Amino acid sequence: MVIATIAGVQQVSADRINAARSLGANRIQVIGRVLLPATLPDLIGGIRVAVGFAWTTVVAAELNNGIPGIGGLAYLAGQQLNTPLTMACIIVIGLTALTLDAVISWIGALVVPWKGKA
């Protein structure tokens, strides 16, 4: 998310910042009305990537340690050769990831309508 935010801020044209300053905007107004709106699309993209990595990490940690959760259930089902339950866990993991991404995309479309569809 930090990298996405930095990239978003770097993409803001200096002309926009200078135009806001020449119209009398102070530092807070430049940040709130120029930098933040221009950076939001990249920030939402960073959130999508971060949530994907977080979900993958949680499931992988459960798979490795057998911690109670969907990854732990998949691990135990695999150890017991319960293929239908293992496949069901894999499908639930994938559908959850798709749902998380869709929700974040939907929120991004509400928060940043000027970006267009991703």
Q: Which residues contact 89 (CB under 8 A, 6 or more apart)?
A: 70, 71, 73, 74, 77
Asked if residue 118 belongs to a domain, the reply is no
Asked if residue 17 belongs to a domain, the reply is yes
Are the CB atoms for 89 and 70 separated by under 8 Å? yes
Cα–Cα separations (whole angstroms), residue 69 to 64, 81, 86, 100: 12, 18, 13, 17
Asked if residue 105 belongs to a domain, the reply is yes
Asked if residue 80 belongs to a domain, the reply is yes
Asked if residue 37 belongs to a domain, the reply is yes
pLDDT at 12 over 90: yes
Range of the domain at 84: 2-111
Are the CB atoms for 74 and 93 separated by under 8 Å? yes
Q: What is the pLDDT of residues 19-75, one digit of tens each?
A: 999 999 999 999 999 999 999 999 999 999 999 999 999 998 888 876 788 988 988
Query: How many domains does the structure of the chain reveal?
Result: 1
Asked if residue 116 belongs to a domain, the reply is no
Are the CB atoms for 74 and 81 separated by under 8 Å? no
Give the chain's end-to-end CA distance (angstroms, integer). Answer: 17
